[in-house]
Chain A
Amino acid sequence: MKALEKLNSHLKTRLTDLSKAKEQGRKIIGYTAGGYLPEELVLACDAIPICFIQSGDNNALKDAGAYICRWLDPFWRSQIGYLTSGKDPYYTIADLIVIPITDNHIRAFSNTAGYYTPEIESFVFGVPHVKDELALGYYLQGINRLKKKLEDFTGVEISESRLKQSIQLCNRERELFRQISLMRQPEDFAVASKDFVALNHGSFLADKEVMVEILESFVKEVKDSTPLPKDGPRILLTGSTLARGDSKVIDIIEDTGGVVVMEEFAEGIRPYWGKVKLEGDLMANLAESYFMGRVCSGWFRPGTERLDFLIKLAREYKAAGMIWYQLMYRESYKVESYFFPDILRKETGLNMLTLESEYDTAETGPMKTRIETFIKTIRS
């Protein structure tokens, strides 16, 4: 696909481009994964948002070992490893790190950034774990504080018109992701999961306008493409985090004949179902869309909204099975993985395979055996 080639080529020079932008006085705002930072605010003050989304390499965990014990989610330990070791330049190029605090795993990263790397300024705000008016108000206060911080930090006022413009751009990106994702609902489709995930991961690092162009080209290309072979069972893949660099599960599923038709992840896949309204109070609209409107992550309580959404996705994407890919020690997902299979089976008749990872290469063999068996069971 030419669009993907363009993305790769853009990302190859991205760090150089970012350095140049920095030299020209633009600020780079690094932020943590989870989808709770409205990129619109960063774009509206002419800064560049870069999401910390790399992971999957066990070496980063070793680097993190000096700062944190092993009993936390490996994705978040990796973030600590990348930040403190400086081995991934995306993590050290940031002028300011914004950390929307969701659960305690993110808090571990936040503490580490604050205590061990004070030379890079960080800004935190909280994401409540329940959905109600009080929680919405709290989230809105958080992003209002962020707006002020960004204005002070960049010296650029986030005016109504600038914010509207950036919302339009981000809405366009979400709309394109949604469009691409929906292309996989029919039996014949031409969007490989790996490509969809690559686009998602790329979008966390790429220039927003370039990304939108890439997505538009991708949509056009897909429409003219030959559908993928459809003999494999359709798999809904879900979990806490699908990081850039963590392709093991999708690789194995596809190698063993399964076809991933949907990826539902809290971290690593951009929330693309909603749209931010352009009328009325734009900050309230951002809060509504980024907090209330999006389907909650696994650490929300209760987590029923997300579980119901998974059932809906399974039906709409005609899944033949669900693979629940969680990272070790992410307790919210672990607990849900115990009682959800019964609900899923009752509602859809589908089976669920639970996989866990600590980004260890030794996991590949057993994981392959389990996925192969699952795919065979579905086929039979």
Chain B
Amino acid sequence: MANYYYEILKLCGFEDEEIEEERSRIEKSFERLGIGPEDMEMAENWVRQNHDVTLKGVRKLLGAWLKELVDLVLARDDGKKIVYFGFPAILGPGLMLSASSEDVFVCAPDMVLDHTMGQIFNKLTPILEAGEANGLPPGHALCSLWQAKVGGLAMEMIPVPDLALASSYFCDMGSKADDLVTAKYGVPAAYIDGVMDSKWGEYPDYLPERVHYLGAQINQALEKAEKVLDIKLAPDAWERSQKDSRGFVNNLLRLLDLMRADPVPVSIVELELLEALSGSSTGRGIREGIKAMEILLRELEDRVKAGIGVTAKGAPRVMTAAGHCSDPRVTRLVEDVGLAVPLTMVLSWVGGPKFKPKGNYTTPGEKMADYELATGNFHGTDGIIKLFASGAKVMKLDGFIAHYLHNCRPAALGSQTQKKYLEEKTGLPVLALEIDGFDSRSYSAASLRTKVETFAEMLKAKKRSAKG
């Protein structure tokens, strides 16, 4: 039983029988990923240092990511038709394809690499460097998530897909990098186009034209996927995809309730694991992730009852949009300086005001488009910022850490505006923090610490003076 990977898999929530059952797949995929016995000590220390592995739910979440990684690496060997989508994405089309055929594997491979090669094995750097050497050079604020994808392909760690589902409704980089993959590997792309052309302040309103256009683009992309993959969408694909994601959303609502507690029962590092999984996997990863979430929620309920948290009771409460995808140290930094994080973008999305979709649309594409525009994610910058602002009262926040990713244009363009808007609307202090959410080589925890520490001290002093 003493395989070199036994300990790390146990840390990642694998049961003995799972390890046994998966043995050949694990070995084959690890070999392709360049993971060997020499990496185990680092990986075990890295996971123990950065994740709360006393929680079984967290271990299982890490395991869910690992299983997604194995399935990704071996998708071609498994005879799957492979579809990659860009992150962040409207997940519906991928879920529908997954629900329609067991022969189709759909995921966001860059996110999988970040969460496994980054968060578990601390071996992301060579992959990023390969991405830089293959079309996405450093120093130009290009997306490091895409560098991981291009690097993974260049290093032949992940298979060349049969189709790219390009999220042309959000960022320009992603779809253009899909063009790069097409130029290098001949991968056909189904562009799901949309235009974020709302006027500032328009949210929660939006024109029906936006729904029609984005919806029709989704439907068109699904038709193209059927042709390219030679599959038929299952008649109930939409309903099944909804059923699959409903469990996750319901659990998020339970989680939101638990995060109201003081002290906050779980680190944003662990929240990030489950939030990101829901936007990256349509297969085994998310199915296992939902199971892990159930376990985690029970554990957190116990913690809340016992008054156990990740920071001291009474710690200032701040919102950050999301955790770091590949380096948990950057995320953990906020809690290390004594700030509790009860709210993230995903939680504000389920906990914020319920803006209902506007129309009675019939096609899956239009239903998805209507929903996404109503919830603000792909509506525009003001939609997202308004969601953050709405979370302040719900979670009794003391401040915001307003991250913006320097190498993601849709995120970077809100840099100063979100700070000003949140300060004005909520009256709370906001620290605008420039980071790279997927690559910690330039924006490391060490380089960010001074800013966050100062902000934390200020919030603590403010709380003390408020108490008198």
Contact = CB atoms under 8 A, between A and B. Distances in A.
Given A115-B421, A331-B409, A334-B142, A101 B197 contact: yes
Contacts of B141: 71, 328-329, 331
Nearest to B179: A302
A101 B195 contact: yes
B26 to A, nearest CB: 35
B59 to A, nearest CB: 37
A69 interface: yes
A332 B178 CA distance: 11
B406 A335 contact: no
Contact of A67 (B136, B210, B417): B417
B416 A72 contact: no
A129 B409 contact: no
A110 B199 contact: yes
B199 A105 contact: no
Interface of A: 66-69, 71-72, 101, 103-105, 107-108, 110-115, 122-130, 132, 134-135, 137-138, 141-142, 298-299, 301-303, 328-329, 331-332, 334-336, 338-339, 343, 356
A68 B135 contact: no
A129 B213 contact: no
B53 interface: no
Contacts of B179: 301-303, 335-336, 339
Contacts of A107: 196, 380-381, 410, 413
8 contacts: A107-B413, A112-B417, A130-B168, A141-B209, A301-B176, A331-B172, A339-B183, A339-B184
B278 interface: no
A105 B166 CA distance: 19
A315 to B, nearest CB: 21
Contacts of A108: 409, 413
A331 B143 CA distance: 9
B413 A104 contact: yes
Contacts of A138: 195, 209, 213
Interface of B: 135-137, 140-143, 166, 168, 171-173, 175-180, 182-184, 189, 191, 193, 195-201, 209-210, 213, 216-217, 220, 380-382, 404, 406-407, 409-410, 412-417, 420-421, 434
B197 A126 contact: yes
Contact of B413 (A68, A128, A303, A335): A68
Given A129-B175, A298-B176, 8 more contacts: A111-B413, A115-B421, A125-B197, A130-B168, A331-B173, A338-B135, A338-B137, A356-B140
A298 B175 CA distance: 11
A182 B179 CA distance: 31
A104 B176 CA distance: 13
Contacts of B417: 67, 111-112, 115
Contact of A72 (B177, B380, B413): B413
Nearest to A64: B416
B136 A72 contact: no
Nearest to A105: B409
Contacts of A336: 176, 179
B213 A115 contact: no
Contacts of A343: 183
Given A134-B220, A302-B182, A332-B172, A71 B193 contact: no
A71 B209 CA distance: 31
A301 B178 contact: yes
A298 B176 CA distance: 9
A301 B193 CA distance: 9
B434 A129 contact: no
B404 A103 contact: no
Contact of A111 (B137, B178, B189, B382): B382
A335 B142 contact: yes
A115 B178 CA distance: 33
B410 A301 contact: no
A41 B38 CA distance: 68
Given A111-B382, A134-B217, A138-B195, A331 B176 contact: yes
B445 to A, nearest CB: 20
B188 to A, nearest CB: 10
- A-B interface, 8 closest residue pairs, ranked by CB to CB distance from nearest: A114-B200, A126-B195, A126-B197, A69-B415, A108-B413, A104-B409, A301-B175, A101-B197
A134 B213 contact: yes
A129 B140 CA distance: 22
A311 B416 CA distance: 41
B176 A134 contact: no
A129 B193 contact: yes
Nearest to A343: B183
A71 B142 CA distance: 10
B193 A130 contact: yes
A338 B409 contact: no
A336 B181 CA distance: 11
Contacts of B193: 128-130, 135, 301
Given A111-B414, A301-B166, A329-B141, A339 B180 contact: yes
B142 A331 contact: yes
Q: Output the residue of A128, A141, A298 with the most chain B CB within 10 A.
A: A128
Contacts of B195: 101, 126-129, 138
Nearest to B208: A141
A335 B135 contact: yes
A142 B209 CA distance: 9
B421 to A, nearest CB: 7
Contact of B168 (A69, A301, A335): A301
A334 B406 contact: no
Contacts of A110: 199-200
Contacts of B182: 302
Contact of A69 (B136, B175, B404): B404
A129 B142 contact: no
A357 to B, nearest CB: 12
Given A107-B381, A130-B168, A299 B217 contact: no
